[in-house]
Amino acid sequence: QVQLVESGGGLVQAGGSLRLSCTTPPGTFSRYAMGWLRQAPGKEREFVAGLSPVGTYTYYGDAVRARFRISRDDAKNTLYLQMNSLMPDDTAAYYCATSSSGRYTKLADFVSWGQGTQVTVSL
């Protein structure tokens, strides 16, 4: 299991922005597609964003498309999730995740994730 460490969560007002980071062991990006998942209290885990193994192609969940952006920095072995125009419905624990199949467009593609970072959006 890949060790993934998320950071960057916090409390933000609606309309604000946050950038989440996920540090990974060297070589992770060459082996896995990457993604972000989230889970709000009392709800099922949800796919947020995915990034292809080559780091070129992205895919987003309907709820965040056009507001969130996934990216990575290969030199820093770090995955990012830039979140803009945040809404209270974005409140959740956010998880960095890996996909060994190379697929990255839905929740079932991801089989391993970190401990998560909490994002809370207030009105």
What digits encode the pLDDT tens for the residues 68-103?
999 999 999 999 999 999 999 999 999 999 999 999
What digits encode the pLDDT tens for the residues 40-65?
999 999 999 999 999 899 999 999 99
Quote the Cα angle for 106-96-10, to 5°: 120
Cα distance between residue 102 and residue 37, in whole Å:
16
